[in-house]
């Protein structure tokens, strides 16, 4: 596939250094492509049910958006600490596709990239200016394309539908809107979602909202009571029940867990 345009729709840098006690386990699914480096210590990681692999010190793992990550933190045995840094990326290709819809990536990047990834992430973390970050982000995308493998291309209709939902999940999305996006009758919307995603429209859209809610809980200090409204469901009680159904814990418990254990 020829790449004619690349747009960085969103990018979030993060990192931490802390004392760790034992090997803690985190399970998550995020709305962005994750590139994560264990600077000191290591991760044991499984993505979307893959075999568990170890990054080793300075190793880098990649997880596509929407895929379940199982991460075990493995502190350095000499001092019991762990340091990590990461970049969450939402990259649009050729105006319709997301980068991780078009390419599959190895869970663990080849070790020859470890030093360069470390330098790129440090440069990104030194500034909040997107324009200053872009050269390092562009090189990060180049590395992903170097190690990635082109997948069977999804239909343009599916890509447009996914983009529409990603761009409008913060408000109610009606069946009429979905039908217009798919250029079909309202009665055909459910059938299309079952064929393309194996689930109902409401379940798919709520899954997108839950992934963005997880990101807000991990990366911001937005009060838990306001998270549902921020992702398109203003009824706090309903969204709280929905989050627990999808994730298996309350939003407060999830924030404490992820802030305690880190990425």
Report pLDDT digits (tens) over 164-207. Answer: 999 899 999 999 999 999 999 999 999 999 999 999 999 999 99
> Residue 26 — pLDDT band, cuts 50, 70, 90?
confident
**Domains 6-150 and 156-261 belong to one CATH topology:** no
Q: Report whether pLDDT(259) > 90.
A: no
Pairing of strands 60-63, 53-54: unpaired
CA–CA separation, 122 vs 23, rounded Å? 26
pLDDT tens-digit map of 89-125: 999 998 888 999 889 999 999 999 999 999 999 999 9
Write down the pTM of the prediction: 0.83
Q: What is the mean pLDDT of residues 214-241?
A: 92
Instruction: Tell me the pLDDT band of 2, cut-offs 50, 70 and 90.
Output: confident
Task: Give the three-state DSSP class for 243.
Answer: helix
pLDDT band at residue 62 under the 50/70/90 scheme: very high
Q: State both tokens at 123.
A: 């440069």
pLDDT score at 262: 54
pLDDT, residue 240, reads: 95
> How far apart are alpha carbons 50 and 114 in whole angstroms?
22
- Output the CA torsion sign for 238, 239, 244, 247: positive
Q: What pLDDT, on the 0 to 100 scale, is given for residue 4?
A: 86
Q: What is the pLDDT of residue 52?
A: 96
Tens digits of per-residue pLDDT, 74-92? 999 999 899 999 999 999 9
pLDDT at 19 over 70: no
The listed CATH number (3.30.43.10, 1.10.10.60, 3.30.499.10, 3.40.50.1950) that belongs to domain 156-261: 1.10.10.60
Parse the chain into domains and list their residue ranges. Answer: 6-150, 156-261
Binned at pLDDT 50, 70 and 90, residue 21 comes out as low
Q: What is the mean pLDDT of the chain?
A: 91
Using CA atoms, how far apart are residues 148 and 10, in angstroms rounded to an integer?
Answer: 20
Quickly count: other Cβ atoms within 10 Å of residue 152's Cβ.
5
Q: What is the pLDDT of residue 101?
A: 86
- pLDDT > 90: what percent of the chain? 75
CATH number of 6-150: 2.60.120.280
Statement: residue 220 has pLDDT above 70: yes
Q: Are strands 60-63 and 69-74 parallel, antiparallel or unpaired?
A: unpaired
């Amino acid at each position: 596939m020829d790449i004619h345009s690349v747009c960085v729709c969103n990018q979030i840098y993060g990192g931490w250094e802390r004392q760790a006690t034992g090997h803690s386990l985190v399970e998550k699914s995020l709305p962005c492509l994750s590139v994560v480096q264990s600077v000191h210590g290591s991760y044991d990681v499984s993505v979307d049910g893959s075999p568990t692999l170890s990054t080793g010190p300075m190793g880098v793992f990649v997880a596509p958006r929407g895929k379940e990550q199982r991460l075990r933190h493995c502190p350095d045995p000499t001092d019991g600490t762990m340091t990590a840094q990461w970049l969450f990326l939402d990259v649009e290709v050729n105006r319709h596709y997301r980068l991780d819809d078009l390419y599959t990536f190895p869970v663990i990047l080849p070790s020859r990239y470890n030093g360069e990834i470390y330098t790129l992430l440090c440069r990104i973390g030194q500034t909040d200016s997107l324009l200053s970050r872009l050269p390092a982000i562009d090189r990060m995308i180049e590395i992903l394309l170097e190690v990635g493998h082109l997948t069977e291309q999804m239909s343009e209709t599916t890509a447009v539908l996914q983009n529409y939902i990603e761009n409008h999940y913060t408000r109610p999305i009606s069946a009429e809107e979905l039908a217009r996006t798919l250029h079909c009758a309202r009665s055909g919307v459910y059938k299309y979602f079952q064929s393309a995603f194996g689930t109902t429209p409401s379940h798919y859209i709520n899954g997108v909202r839950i992934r963005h809610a997880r990101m807000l809980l991990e990366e911001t200090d937005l009060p838990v009571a306001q998270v549902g409204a921020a992702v398109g469901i203003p009824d706090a009680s309903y969204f709280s029940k929905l989050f627990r159904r999808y994730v298996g814990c309350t939003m407060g418990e999830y924030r404490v867990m992820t802030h305690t254990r880190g990425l």
